[in-house]
Amino acid sequence: MIRSPLTLAGLALALSACSASDPQQQLSADLTDGVLLPAYSAWHEANKQLDASADAFCSGSQDLTAARQAFLTTQSAWAGLQPLQVGPLAEGNRAWQVQFWPDKKNLVARQVEALLTRTPQLTAANLDNASVVVQGLTAYEYVLYDSSIDLSDATTKARYCPLLQAIGEHQQALSAEVLGQWQAKDGMAAELKAFPNARYAEAPEAVAELLRAEVSALDGLKKKLGTPLGRQSKGVPQPYQAEAWRSQASLAMLAASLASAERIWLGAEQNGVQRLLGDDQDALRQRINEAFADTRQRLAALPRPLGELVSDDEGRSQLNALYDSLNALHRLHEAELAKALGIQLGFNAHDGD
């Protein structure tokens, strides 16, 4: 049968309209453009600034306060990526190259010192071939913040600066590689927008993976709060097991990750996962909104750094209330939201921790 050009054009238009009206495909595309790509771009930009900061600090044109601020900005950008770990960053051991946590045996300090003793004239190539323990932000934080390292002393600064510069270069290259794999013609962003492709047979698979990443991150936040609280050590606080304890940025990192998880739920323009719930599921939508607000407000109201809060009864009470709020938020996602959307979450990266 021979079709006229008009008929073929009409068929193409119909197929296009069908694709555009698929709510899960539209959600995946909207989250890619409005949430994921901006976060990965911000992370790469922060790493470029960290790389430049390391050079400036080590050359004497930037002071320690400014160097620490560049680090905190990068650390916050990384925390914001944790609920968005799908695709390249979740593969090839890359996340461990950015951050080594939990550091239960102070491996970061011990391996940094051993590396610099073995290789005093450290280069970026040396670091690329070293352990992930010394390649990332946790090692950078150790150098900038540990009380045993006096960077105002010229000899001490000369010892540690090659490592700061090598980490800055490594992180900038790593984030450039990951962002490039997102932005490539057939890269991760494209795979989240058009189906089928090499990664996903259909849009619901992509949406399920995005939700899994968010739910896993919320569960991970419980561990990051519960570990220093002593929930895995019979109630004995473990302040040195907190994420970013040296820089006292543990709560700021929790806040950055929580905000990113909420953006997956809300979307950049109210077009996030919540949009998939029908009118008959308004009660669940409202409960999740209220749970995010409760956790966010409790976190913002904490008056002291995490390391100080775990040291007294009042502080631990506030942190335990935050943990319970976070647990309720996680359970709403893991059980009720996943069921409402018909998504099987499956294996959790934090299971067994």
pLDDT at 310 over 90: yes
Dihedral angle over CA of 140, 143, 147, 151, nearest 10: -140
- Alpha-helix runs per DSSP H in 184-281: 188-191, 203-229, 250-266
Are the C-beta atoms of residues 138 and 99 closer than 8 Å to each other?
A: yes
pLDDT band at 234 (very low <50, low <70, confident <90, very high): confident
Residues in the chain: 353
pLDDT at 109 over 50: yes
- The answer to whether 325 and 295 have CB atoms below 8 angstroms apart is yes
DSSP symbols for 138-169? HHHHHHHH-TT--TTSHHHHHHHHHHHHHHHH
Q: What is the pLDDT of residues 59-107, one digit of tens each?
A: 999 999 999 999 999 999 999 999 999 999 999 989 999 999 999 899 9
CA nearest neighbour of 167 among 209, 132, 121: 132
Q: For 198-212, 213-227, 231-245, which range has the lowest pLDDT when averaged over its residues?
A: 231-245
Contact between 80 and 38 (Cβ < 8 Å): no
User: How far apart are alpha carbons 212 and 336 in whole angstroms?
Assistant: 13
Least trusted range by pLDDT, from 19-33, 150-164, 195-209: 19-33
Q: For the chain, which residues make up each domain, given as ranges?
A: 23-191, 203-341
In contact, 306 and 251? CB cutoff 8 Å: yes
273-294 pLDDT, tens digit per residue, is 999 999 999 999 999 999 999 9
Exposure string for 316-353, b = 16+ CB within 10 A, e = fewer? bebbeebbebbbebbebbbeebbeebebebeeeeeeee
Band (347; pLDDT cuts 50, 70, 90) = low
Dist. CA 7–CA 312, nearest whole Å: 75
**Which CATH superfamily includes the segment(s) 23-191?**
M75 peptidase, HXXE motif (1.20.1420.20)
